Amino acid sequence: MKKIKVKLFGPLREKAKSDCIELTVSPPVTPGKILNLTGEVLNLTDDEKVLLRIASRERYLSQDEEIMENEIYLIPPVGGG
């Protein structure tokens, strides 16, 4: 099992009342597993989960790639501009 720190922003940070959560995930760690576990912890609806993306510190991760990092970013819809 691998411990992953998930950083939260915007509406997710507000919902969690924290800027991060820690998950214990069975390998291989994938964005899909992270989304499902986070969804359970934060009580997210399916409509909310489909809006989310996963990123490392450097880049967005694709849905099927294995996550090697110990810290990832959970990205709700962005609103820059």
Partner 1 sequence: MLKITSDPINVEELLRQVSAEDRGAIVLFVGTVRNRTGDKKVKYLTYEAEKEFAENILSQIVEKSLRKWPGVKVAVVHRIGENLHPGEITLVIATSSAHREEAYAANRFLLEEIKKDLPVWKKEVFIDGSYHWSGWNN
Q: Does 5 bind partner 1 (CB under 8 A)?
A: no
For the chain, the residue count is: 81
- Between residue 61 and residue 80, which ones bind partner 1 under the rule CB under 8 A? 73, 75-80
Q: How far is the CB of 31 from partner 1 (least distance, A)?
A: 15
Query: Taking the CB of residue 9, how many other CB atoms lie within 10 A of it?
Result: 14
DSSP E strands, 1-81? 2-7, 20-25, 53-55, 71-75
* Site of interaction with partner 1 (CB under 8 A): 7, 9-11, 13-14, 47-48, 51, 55, 57-60, 73, 75-81
